[in-house]
């Protein structure tokens, strides 16, 4: 049995080396993309000064937006590969987190396509839990951004984010999302357009929550500690 055990160990070692090499490649590619963005930004400034056609300026704007998205994808991939280390704080009101995420995402660049209107349906009562504020904010932002990108079209779209209590949990719903699926380690089907929702799901699960998708609605549940309210 010893040779078999040695073979498994060697396989694991090779996978670890492959993972490290992949992450290094991702880092290098991200640096190259940032360099390309500098050149594209320079070109955009030149076009603005020379009063070039709207089509030319729009092309450069789309190029820069595409470089930004690619760099963001690579950042999410690196974060997804890393272990989650939470620094939980208490209390953290999810109403403030969701409102901040919506305001931030709504103000983002849309790469030349019509923006997606994001509305909210937030319950009045406090929805407090013990969360890592930065991590849970990132989780909701990753999922919201992913849904917005998956639903972009030539016509403005509408996405509604609802937040309410459901027993001892907070339920967050993204309504009006184009359905996309993947399988989690627990074999549950969840919404995942790209690595961004995969990362968001991982961060939510690290907080003891879960994510699922049904039709055009993505749902996330997070545990609350203010059971008396």
What's the length of the chain? Answer: 229
Give the model confidence (pLDDT) of 207-223 as tens digits: 999 999 887 789 999 99
pLDDT at 109: 52
Give the model confidence (pLDDT) of 168-204 as tens digits: 999 999 987 665 544 444 444 444 457 888 899 999 9
Same domain, 29 and 99: no
pLDDT at 38: 82
pLDDT bin (cut points 50, 70, 90) of residue 32 is: confident
Same domain, 113 and 75: no
The three-class DSSP label of residue 216 is: coil
Same domain, 193 and 106: yes
Residues 6+ apart with CB under 8 A from 205: 184, 211
In the chain, the percentage of residues whose pLDDT exceeds 70 is 72
Q: Return mean pLDDT, the chain.
A: 77
The residue whose two tokens read 């290098």 is 28
Domain membership flag for residue 169: yes
Measured from the Cβ of residue 156, the count of other Cβ atoms closer than 10 Å reads: 12
Domain membership flag for residue 229: no
pLDDT at 179: 53
Q: How far is CA 210 from the centre of its chain?
A: 15
Mean pLDDT comparison of 47-56, 138-147, 170-179, highest-scoring range = 138-147
Same domain, 75 and 93: no
Same domain, 97 and 209: yes
Q: Which of 37, 61, 81 is the last residue of a domain?
A: 81
Domain membership flag for residue 183: yes
DSSP of 71-89, one letter per residue? Answer: HHHHHHHHHHHSPP----E
Which residues are registered as beta bridge partners of 117? 158
pLDDT at 177: 66
Residue 113, pLDDT > 80, answer no
DSSP of 131-168, one letter per residue? Answer: E-HHHHHHHHHHHHHHHHHHT--SS--EEEEEEEEETT
Assessment of whether the complete model's pTM goes beyond 0.75: no
Residue 6, pLDDT > 50, answer no
Same domain, 214 and 120: yes
pLDDT at 19: 59
For residues 108 and 149, the answer to whether their CB atoms sit within 8 Å is: no
Supply the range of the domain harboring residue 203. Answer: 89-223
Residue with the larger pLDDT of the pair 91 and 222: 222
pLDDT bin (cut points 50, 70, 90) of residue 141 is: very high
Domain membership flag for residue 181: yes
Pick from 101, 86, 34: nearest CA to 208: 86
Give the model confidence (pLDDT) of 149-169 as tens digits: 776 654 556 788 999 999 999
pLDDT at 201: 93
Same domain, 9 and 76: yes
Residue 1, pLDDT > 50, answer no
Give the model confidence (pLDDT) of 10-28 as tens digits: 655 665 665 566 667 776 7
Residue 39, pLDDT > 90, answer no
Same domain, 93 and 60: no
């Amino acid at each position: 049995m010893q040779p078999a055990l040695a073979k498994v160990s060697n396989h694991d070692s090779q996978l670890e080396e492959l993972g490290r090499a992949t992450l290094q490649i991702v880092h290098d590619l991200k640096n190259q993309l940032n360099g390309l963005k500098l050149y594209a930004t320079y070109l955009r400034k030149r076009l603005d000064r020379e009063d070039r056609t709207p089509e030319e300026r729009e092309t450069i704007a789309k190029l820069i937006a595409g470089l930004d998205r690619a760099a963001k994808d690579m950042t999410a991939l690196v974060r997804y590969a890393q272990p989650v280390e939470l620094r939980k704080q208490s209390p953290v009101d999810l109403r403030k987190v969701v409102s901040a995420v919506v305001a931030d995402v709504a103000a983002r660049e849309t790469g030349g396509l019509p923006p997606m209107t994001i509305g909210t349906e937030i319950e009045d009562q406090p929805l407090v839990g013990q969360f890592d504020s930065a991590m849970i904010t990132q989780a909701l932002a990753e999922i919201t951004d992913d849904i917005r990108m998956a639903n972009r079209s030539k016509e403005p779209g509408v996405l509604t984010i609802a937040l309410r209590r459901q027993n001892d949990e907070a339920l967050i719903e993204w309504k009006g999302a184009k359905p996309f699926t993947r399988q989690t380690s627990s074999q549950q089907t969840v919404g995942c357009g790209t690595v961004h929702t995969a990362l968001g799901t991982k961060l939510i699960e690290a907080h003891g929550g879960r994510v699922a998708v049904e039709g055009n609605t993505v749902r996330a549940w997070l545990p609350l500690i203010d059971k008396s309210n």
